[in-house]
Structure 1
Amino acid sequence: MNNIRLPSILVLNALGLALFFSWYLPAGHGSWFVLDSTIFHFFNQALVKSRAFLELVAITNNRVFDGISLLAMGSLFFWYWRKESAIGRRRMVIMGIVMLFCAIIINQLGHLIPESHVSPTLYFTDIYRVSELLHFPTKDASSDSFPGDHGLMLLIFTGFMLRYFGKKAFAIAVIIFLIFMLPRVMIGAHWFTDIFVGSLSVALVCLPWALLTPLSDWLISLLDRYLPGRKK
């Protein structure tokens, strides 16, 4: 129990629940919907005002750009990996496996939330869709956009960076999160709250139980003990 930071866990959980219920309980999601609608229409109108912005939004929502987000996370991870000894590098690789495992479990828990809705491009009428303005493969809609899966994955990565590498790694991870999530909002594939309420609240409720308890360290040590190549 000494390694369980229970007060911090409870505070983060309370913040996550308060954030979620501030959106979930009001009729029509209250002022959150006004914010969502304002943000969506601002960027949606900008699509036809600037060809450069339209093309930027299309490119940054192409599947290739998702690969670039993985490359960005991998580069940050590699920056710390290359400074480690052979033992440290092995533990970092195992940490990556544990992070992926946590991401899968937390993502599944997130989808237990009794809320589902379509993206703003499918909700509103008389709006612009990038896929109709450009002949370019891009994702501008989702039939189930809450909570944002991609945003949740990036937040989990951000949490692991803070837990194991400190504030500098955390700050860089936050920048990566913002760079690769904002295009989803700008194109209308996600509401603002899909990410900054949905993904964030799930991360605040679930992730502390992995990172502020011995759980993540225990999983890393367990895999380190049983995966091949330890003696090397």
Structure 2
Amino acid sequence: MDNRPLFQAKWSWGPLAACTVLPIALLCFWLWPFGQILCLTFDEWLFHSLNAPLADNTTWRYIWTVGSLRPFDIVVGLILLTVLIRADWVFKASQVREAFFGFLVTLILLVVVRALFSKWVDAMGWQHDSPSMVFDNVVHLSDYYPNLEKAWELKDRSSKSFPGDHASVLLIWALFMSLFSRRLVQHLVIWGLALLFMLPRLVAGAHWGQDDYIGGLLMAVLAVGWSCHTPLAAKGSALLMRWTAPLFRIVAKLPLVGRLAIIR
């Protein structure tokens, strides 16, 4: 049986350098005037292509309204968690708990990166309104379903849409899973889910594309790099596994729940 740890407690300088340079390159491209023109041109086309059909296609509108509700984020989180802890798909059954804690450490690092980067964005004046607040003739889901906006926090606009924090979580999950995926079908499922769940904010106009493929991506790459290519994920997951071992031994005695790979 292969009991080697999933994460290596060492510095992988090549991948770490790549995960540091790429976010810097993305930010520089975004700040470059010509790069900004390209981003805005693409984002305007993308937004109108996704948003305009909401006016005439009721089914399209229903689908993306549900996807734009805050409670749907919980559903998305459960789906991503299920894929992460499914035994013998990406991770072996014996590695599932270590993978879960490694991802948790990476997610915590993302929160830190997000807080620091957002303060920098505000200080530099890089913040902007979402496309639903900029363009005319926009389909606002909240105009169709005002009760949902009040009761379930329908997300279709934002005065501070950069960077895309929702997208950064999806992207960090996809990047983390891709590090350990070995088959094409795994990569297709992982990135298919990530892109699908990023769409509701883009369709509703709560985010520009650049909020996700620039802001969200640079934060996700930075957090994954400084977690998985440094000793952080290895030491953090090992520590959490040691601290929670007594709790898992208790939960393992419960029927049904105790059969889950993450519990065993």
Shorter chain as normaliser: what TM range? 0.7 to 0.9
- Equivalent pair of 2:127/2:161 in contact (CA under 8 Å): yes
* Cα shift at 1:218: 1.3
Moved more, 107-116 or 17-26: 107-116
2:172 is aligned, of 148, 156, 178, to: 156
Distance 1:210 1:129 in 2: 39
Unaligned 5+ residue runs, structure 1? Answer: none
Letter paired with 2:218: S
- Equivalent pair of 1:159/1:170 in contact (CA under 8 Å): no
SS at match of 1:173: helix
Match status 1:62 vs 2:60 = no
Q: TM-score, normalised on structure 2? A: 0.76
Q: How does 1:77-156 map to 2 (within 5 A)?
A: 77-80=84-87, 84-85=93-94, 88=95, 90-114=97-121, 115-135=126-146, 137=148, 138-156=154-172
Distance 1:231 1:63 in 2: 31
Moved more, 131-140 or 173-182: 131-140
Deviations 1:141-193 (A, max 9, x none): 11211111111111222232233555565543322211110111111011011
Letter paired with 1:20: L
Q: TM-score, normalised on structure 1? A: 0.85
Letter paired with 1:183: P
Matched residues, percent identical? Answer: 27
Tell me the equivalent position of 2:231: 214
Tell me the equivalent position of 1:18: 25
- Equivalent pair of 1:72/1:176 in contact (CA under 8 Å): no
Distance 1:43 1:2 in 2: 44
SS at match of 2:119: coil
In the superposition, relative to structure 1, how do residues 177 and 93 fare at CA in structure 2: closer, same or farther (>3 Å)? closer
Distance 1:187 1:218 in 2: 41
- Equivalent pair of 2:110/2:219 in contact (CA under 8 Å): no
In the superposition, relative to structure 1, how do residues 207 and 96 fare at CA in structure 2: closer, same or farther (>3 Å)? closer
User: What is the aligned-residue RMSD (CA, Å)?
Assistant: 2.8
Deviations 1:178-227 (A, max 9, x none): 11101111110110110011111222233211111222101112233444
SS at match of 1:207: helix
Aligned residues: 230
Deviations 1:36-60 (A, max 9, x none): 1111122232111312212222111
In the superposition, relative to structure 1, how do residues 161 and 107 fare at CA in structure 2: closer, same or farther (>3 Å)? same
Distance 2:13 2:135 in 1: 43
Unaligned 5+ residue runs, structure 2? Answer: 1-7, 149-153, 250-264
* Cα shift at 1:230: 8.0
Letter paired with 1:53: W
Letter paired with 1:162: S
Distance 2:231 2:111 in 1: 19
- Equivalent pair of 2:84/2:100 in contact (CA under 8 Å): no
- Equivalent pair of 1:118/1:143 in contact (CA under 8 Å): yes
* Cα shift at 1:128: 2.1
